[in-house]
Amino acid sequence: MRKTVTFREYEDAKLEIIKGVEYKEYSQMREDGRFTKQYATEKNGVFYEVTDNGITEFWSDKHSASRYYDSRTREEIIAYYEDLLGDLQEEISRLREENQNYLDSMNSNGSLVIQERMKNKVLEEKIAAINVIVKAEVAA
């Protein structure tokens, strides 16, 4: 499971390696679009980071477990989730409308079925009455 940290925790981890000592910074843009940096010191070891789509994975010689910092601004993240929420709300509205149309259709069809059953019952009663009359005529 990825451990996500705040910007402050990211900065503290980097400062743990580079604060108060000389360091060399190495950076490289990889072909896959990821950006890598290393801060190397003789005394404290190396701090490593790889950034991809605004998310920085980092670790150091002192703390080898990877941690992640989302460097996108809070506003970008909120806007992303607001857009996502808006899309979901539109989808929910569309599904509600489809469901209501389906229910309306079922109610309409149900009314038609009831009407047809009532017509059939009336016709059955008329046929029964005609049979009674025919039998009476034949018997007479």
Query: What pLDDT does 140 receive?
Result: 60
Secondary structure (H, E, C), the chain? CCCECCHHHHHHHHHHHHCCCCCEEEEEECCCCCEEEEEECCCCCEEEEEEECCEEEEEECCCCCCEEEECCCHHHHHHHHHHHHHHHHHHHHHHHHHHHHHHHHHHHHHHHHHHHHHHHHHHHHHHHHHHHHHHHHHHC
Residue 5 clears pLDDT 80, i.e. is over it: yes
- pTM beyond 0.85: the answer is no
Closest CA to 36 of 56, 63, 16, 17: 56
Q: Give me the residue spans of the domains in the chain.
A: 7-72, 73-140
Rounded to an integer, the average pLDDT of 17-46 is 94
pLDDT for res 50: 95
- Per-residue pLDDT of 35-68, as tens digits, reads 999 999 999 999 999 999 888 999 999 999 999 9
More reliable by pLDDT, 15 or 130? 15
